[in-house]
Amino acid sequence: MKVELREGLVEIPAAMPTFASEGLERAAESIARIAADSYEYLAGLLDRRPEAQLLVLSEADWATKSEVALYGLPNAGDGTLTVAGTDAPFWADLAAMVTDADRPELDAVYAGSDGQLRFGPFFDLVAVHEVGHLFHEGVVHFPRMWLQELFANLCLHAWVEQREPGSLATLLTLPRVGAKAPAESWEHRTADDFERVYSTMPGPNYVWFQFRLQVEAANLYERGGEASVRRLFDAFRLDEAALEGILGAQVDRGLAAFSREFQ
């Protein structure tokens, strides 16, 4: 965990170490509650307690403290969860993914009293997705990026179902109607594209993939419940004994023996 990222930020009293850009203290308190509660929920499911800190940033601080360039795209790594504390410009672009037929449903969930769409509550929930990444980091080796992202989305869906069911409409409406955007709308649209340009594709294009995965996470949860989180986690968890067994059975016994010596 990079504690130096806290420099210049305001410490927020919370169950998870939380630091915010000046002026974003109230937003940080709200997001910290979500992040800390989801951390405890996932710790109970997965029997792990990884290092974690939360940064709630302004656009100015994002430029120097986030490893993801696009402001407002939540991210996590090396024990640090980074989220935006104000509405990001690209969030407004997501409404363009929605057809006119689905717009009334979108408005019913996300429009304020002034009629303006506000996706901040949705992205606050996405903090749980990033907490999920902290739990698998360095422990689970997903063979495809989409599986890694599906796991984080499943963590998010399970937490909302179990701890914040009143937020299900906020979580599911935008992904469900946004995922309907035709593949031809996007430069990157295939599973191979997702693997190849995962970290560099434009924000709305990336979010379209994530919407599809969030919908599937809901389907997976409906079929298997919260136990699906642990099953997906365990399916690709590769400890040293399992690795040695795979090497010995599928590659070479000498390499399996070397794997013990290399520890």
Q: Per-residue pLDDT tens for 155-165?
A: 999 999 999 99
**Concatenated DSSP letters for 154-175?**
HHHHHHHHHH-GGGHHHHHHHH
CATH code (residue 110): 1.10.390
Domains in the chain, number? 1
Element holding 80 (H helix, E strand): strand 80-84
Each residue's pLDDT tens digit, 214-233: 999 999 999 999 999 999 99
How confident is residue 191, by pLDDT bands cut at 50, 70 and 90? very high
DSSP codes of every residue in 94-141:
GGGGS-GGGHHHHHHHHB-TTS-B--HHHHHHHHHHHHHHHHHTTTB-
Reported as a single tens digit per residue, the pLDDT across 106-145 is 999 999 999 999 999 999 999 999 999 999 998 999 999 9
For the question of whether the overall pTM of this predicted structure is more than 0.95, the answer is no
**Residue 216 lies in domain:** 3-261
Asked if pLDDT for residue 263 goes beyond 70, the answer is no
What pLDDT does 256 receive?
A: 92
Quick check: helix, strand or coil at residue 12?
A: strand
- Quick one: pLDDT at residue 260? 84
- The tokens for 248 are 């010995």
| Residue 39 tokens, joined | 């951390």
